[in-house]
Amino acid sequence: MITFVLLLSYIGFSQSKEFVVLDATTKKPIDLVQLFYPSLGIGSISNGDGKVRIPFLENEIITSHVNYIEKKFTFDYLKQKDTLFLMPRTNQLDEVIIYNLDLKQKFKDILKKSFLSKYSTKKVIHNCTYKDSLAP
């Protein structure tokens, strides 16, 4: 508990630094990039302009984004630079096969094989008799 309080006070009194996170190929800002100190468990997320303010500590920072390759930045690099460039990740999907499928007919076929073979959907009129008996 004491180390946690000391860590919070250290972070509270430490200086912060603003970074700009850009795409390495297009040089456009990237939003929602997570910058964090893995050893401390603290971090921040970049805004729509790619800017992020984070406490400046003598640890390495890891950047993470779903569309970009994760990258580590050392403290020495971060002292000299305030712009971080990330390389785009190529996300490749498995092969997609598209069929020309008539869903209405497929649904009818399924009904014929299961429901319609067990239960009749024809209109049925039942003739029944009713007898009212009065007890004397």
When the candidates are 2.60.40.1120, 3.20.20.80, 1.10.1060.10, 1.10.460.10, the CATH number that belongs to 2-86 is 2.60.40.1120
What pLDDT, on the 0 to 100 scale, is given for residue 109? 80
Among 85, 86, 45, CA closest to 68? 86
Lookup result for tokens 């039942």 = 126
What pLDDT, on the 0 to 100 scale, is given for residue 117? 64
Q: Specify the pTM.
A: 0.56
What pLDDT, on the 0 to 100 scale, is given for residue 14? 58
What pLDDT, on the 0 to 100 scale, is given for residue 71? 92
- Divide the 136 residues of the chain into consecutive groups of 10 and give the mean pLDDT of each group: 48 74 93 90 90 89 92 90 90 80 81 69 67 63
In angstroms, rounded to a whole number, what is the distance separating the alpha carbons of residues 107 and 97? Answer: 21
What pLDDT, on the 0 to 100 scale, is given for residue 5? 44
Rg (C-alpha) for the chain, rounded Å, is 33
What pLDDT, on the 0 to 100 scale, is given for residue 132? 66
Give the C-alpha distances (Å, rounded to integers) separating 28 from 40, 63, 64, 125. Answer: 29, 16, 17, 74
Q: Is the dihedral angle over the CA atoms 52, 54, 56, 62 positive or is it negative?
A: negative
Q: Is the dihedral angle over the CA atoms 72, 76, 80, 82 positive or is it negative?
A: positive
